[in-house]
Amino acid sequence: MASSVPWRAVIGTAQSMSWAPLRVQRADTMSGMTNAQQIIAPVDCDAAPEESLSRIFEQIMGVYSVSDDEGPLSDAVERFLRSLGHMRVRRHGDTVIADDIAGRGQHVVLAGHLDTVPVAGNFPPRWLEPGDPLIRADMAAQHPGERVMWGRGATDMKASDAVLLYLAAALRDPKYDLTYIFYDHEEVSAEKNGLRRLLDAHRDWVDGDFAIIAEPTSCGIEGGCNGTIRFDVVAHGVAAHSARAWLGDNAIHKAAEILRRLQAYEPQDVPVDGLTYREGINATLISGGTGTNVIPDECRVHVNYRFAPDKTIAQAKALVMGEDCAAKLGNGDHEATGGMFAGFGIEMHDESPSARPGMESPLAQSLAALVKKRTGRDPQAKLGWTDVARFTQLGIPAVNLGAGSALLAHKRDEQVALGDLTLLAGILREWLTL
C-alpha cells in the first residue's frame, strides 16, 4: 500500500547544523503536489516545548505507517535517535530501541507503537486551527482555542510517540536509566507484534523496574488491561441441493444457536486490585455457504472474548470451550467439550494475556500521585488490550499513560489537541527528572 502513497521519510544532512534533520516527502493537501520539507528542528530545552512537540508530531503524522508499512517511519525514528548522540540505538526488524543507561539505580522503559490501522479518508493529516468545522464539538469544549491534529494515527498513537521522541532529545540528566522502544505491528495479530518479536529474539535488550506504554489515556493512568482471545465457532452440517434440502443439514441454521448464546450473555464488571474491568464477548464476523442453491455444510461465527485480568488465557478459554478442548493456535477445528459453545467446533486465531493493574509498584504510585496533582484523575482500568501485558509477563510492573482519548482511536475523525502533548510531556519530564 505504501507504494501508492507519495510519502517517504528520509534523513537529510544539514550543512550548517550539528543535528540531523528529519525530512519527509509530503503531499500538499490542496494541490496533491509533493515537496521535500524539513519539519523537525533540534530540541531547544530553553524554548517552549510546544514548538518542538508540534514539529515532531507533524513529521511523524506525515509518514504513512499502516501495519506492514512501518519501515519508512522506523528508518526516520532510528536516524533521529542516533543523531542525538547520547544513547545506544539498536534495531530488530522495524522496532527501534534506544538506551540512556548511566547506572542511576532504577530503570524505566517508555514504549510506543509506530503503526496505525488502515486509513479511512483521513490521510494526509492536517492541523486544524480553532474554529475549523472538522474539530469535534467535545474536542473544542475540552481544548478551547487550541490547535488540533486531525488524521490517521493522531490519537493512536503518534501523539504519544512525538512526546517520547521529544523526551529522548530533551532529557540529558534524568534521575532514572531510560529505555525507549518504538515498535511495529501492534494493530494486528499478536504473532506479528514487534515488541513480542523483540522480546523473543533479544530478551536481554529489555530490562527495567517499571514500564509506561504510551497508549492514549487522555493523560491519565490506566492500569493493567483486559486479555483477548479470537476464535471461530463452527457449526457443521451436510451439503445438499436446495431443491432436496431434506437430504442435507443446514449449518447456517444451526449457527442461530451460537448467536442465541452470545445474545444471552450479559457483560460482566470484574474488580481487580481496586480497579474495575468490563468483560465482553461478541460476534464480529460470520461466514457460510458456497452457493445460492446449496445447503451449507459449514458456518463460522468469529468471536472475540475480552476477559478481565483475574483470568489467565487458559481460564478464559475454559469458560468458552471447556478445559479439555484441544483447540490451539494453528491446529484447526476441534469440538468444544464444555463452556459457552459446548458441542460446536472451535478454531483459535489469536490470544493475548491480560495484565493486572501493577499499581503496587512505588514507581507507579509516585507517577499516579503526580498525574493526580496535574490532572485530578485517579487511576482507572484499561478496558482494551495493550502491551502492558508483555511487561507484566516479564515481571516488570507497567501502566498505560498517553496523550489523546482512547475513545477516538481508529475513528475516521481521529484527532488530538496540541495541549494534550504538552501536558503529557510536562508530566513525564517532571517525574523523570525531579
Which residues are marked as active site? 115, 186
Three cell numbers written together for 198: 523483540
CA-angle at 409, arms to 184 and 38, nearest 5°: 60
Only one residue has cell 461465527, namely 301
Q: HSE of 84 in the Cβ direction (CA atoms, 13 Å)?
A: 22
Overall residue count recorded for the chain in this entry: 434
**Is residue 59 a contact partner of residue 7, using CB atoms and an 8 Å limit?**
no
Would you tell me how many other CB atoms lie within 10 Å of the CB of residue 304? 16
Nearest partner of 146 among 59, 221, 227, 54, judged by Cα: 54
Question: What is the three-class DSSP state of 16?
Answer: coil
Task: Tell how strand 298-307 and strand 294-295 pair up.
Answer: unpaired
Only one residue has cell 442453491, namely 293
Q: Torsion over CA of 353, 155, 363 and 52, rounded to 10 degrees?
A: 140
Whole-Å CA distances, 343 to 23, 105, 243, 257, 340: 57, 55, 29, 11, 9
